[in-house]
Amino acid sequence: MWFFYIHPLLQIVALLFGSYAVFLGLKRFLNVFFQFGSNFNWKHHVIAGQLALEDWLAGMILGTVVARVEWGGWFITGLHAKIAMVLLPMICFGLVSGLYMNLKPCRRKVLPLAHGFNNICIIVLVLVQIVVGTGVFKEFVLGL
């Protein structure tokens, strides 16, 4: 039964890393567009963002495998699974766009805005996932 707790823990750790990455990204946004703010810690932003996105992806895969193996079905968690499918391309875009900007640094405005907006939307959907996932956990794991 212990493995049922890995998925939510992974996702919460990812939320912490993702929130830190968004915080750093917002500082950069304010600095670039409003000349307000301080230095942008690019390295920390990249590391935290990459860890968060990869962690969410791993947690999504683990959650899908556990649902299939333990409960014998795909998408049986309803809204939780549907939101995960919305998150999947967003996570991929966040990873690919972040990797591209990290490997080919230059002055940009549109891609960083799209990257940041996408990743803020991910944070919002992850917060929704926590609420929905709590219900899934209660029903499927605790039997309540």
Domain hosting residue 19, numbered range? 2-142
pTM given for the model: 0.91
- pLDDT higher than 80, residue 113: yes
Cα 12 to Cα 52, 127, 133, 141, distances in angstroms? 9, 10, 11, 18
Among candidates 23, 11, 5, which has minimal Cα distance to 60?
A: 11
3-state secondary structure the chain: CHHHHHHHHHHHHHHHHHHHHHHHHHHHHHHHHHCCCCCCCHHHHHHHHHHHHHHHHHHHHHHHHHHHHHHCCCCCCCHHHHHHHHHHHHHHHHHHHHHHHHHCCCCCCHHHHHHHHHHHHHHHHHHHHHHHHHHHHHHHHHCC
Q: What is the pLDDT of residues 12-45, one digit of tens each?
A: 999 999 999 999 999 888 888 888 877 888 999 9
Contact (Cβ atoms closer than 8 angstroms) between residue 100 and residue 114: no
Q: What is the pLDDT of residues 68-98, one digit of tens each?
A: 998 888 889 999 999 999 999 999 999 999 9
Structural domain tally of the chain? 1
